[in-house]
Chains A and B, each alone.
Chain A
Amino acid sequence: DAGVIQSPRHEVTEMGQEVTLRCKPISGHNSLFWYRQTMMRGLELLIYFNNNVPIDDSGMPEDRFSAKMPNASFSTLKIQPSEPRDSAVYFCASSSWDRTNYGYTFGSGTRLTVV
């Protein structure tokens, strides 16, 4: 298994542009999580899905952020319009139904820089 796959690894964009981050979870995992990592706030949960359904999006900072999971093997996180304060590393993680026993498997992250 190739693990959780995220793309792109790096993204540099200008303020105001739309940014789309992609994630392919591990096959068979039914939960998917999007986290944002910054020096100031550490790891913040943005949104998570169970069986492709968004369960909790209370961590999404603003309406500029949206996430979708059209099927079990793909999810996107979109920022429109992007702002410099969105610069961070965005991680996707997936897990099976029992997170306690198996924990999360994280992707390599997307390092986003908004200039």
Chain B
Amino acid sequence: AQRVTQPEKLLSVFKGAPVELKCNYSYSGSPELFWYVQYSRQRLQLLLRHISRESIKGFTADLNKGETSFHLKKPFAQEEDSAMYYCALSSSGYSTLTFGKGTMLLVSP
């Protein structure tokens, strides 16, 4: 069975500080990993996906198969980054996404 674990429910940092949102997964094959973001009372939006190896809003995430992790990082947090972040896994292009329970990021001035 596939599983996504986000160990932190809440991460609070000051503006300008580095941010790392942790995500670990459990899956025996080659997964596809995603990060979704949900700003206050808004819809979930796709932030980035590991296959595209892109940087969105200064965020990056590297898939580490040895550690089965896909941590989301940003060198300098901004107040507008405050949101709920969900890590998600798909076992193949045609399967459903399994989401972690999310981490709330709060960036204080």
Contacts and interface: CB of A to CB of B under 8 A. Distances in A.
Interface of A: 3-4, 33, 35, 41-43, 45, 48, 56, 91, 93, 97-101, 103-109
Interface of B: 32, 34, 36, 42-46, 49, 51, 86, 90, 92-102
Interface residues of A, dominant DSSP: mixed
Contacts, number: 57
Contacts of A109: 43
Contacts of A93: 44
B42 A108 contact: yes
Contacts of B36: 103
A113 B100 CA distance: 24
Contact of B90 (A43, A48, A100, A106): A100
Given A48-B96, A103-B34, A108-B42, 4 more contacts: A42-B86, A45-B99, A98-B94, A100-B49
Given A42-B101, A43-B99, A97 B44 contact: no
Contacts of A107: 43
Given A91-B44, A108-B43, A103 B49 contact: yes
A99 B102 contact: no
Given A91-B43, A99-B90, A108-B42, A42 B96 contact: no
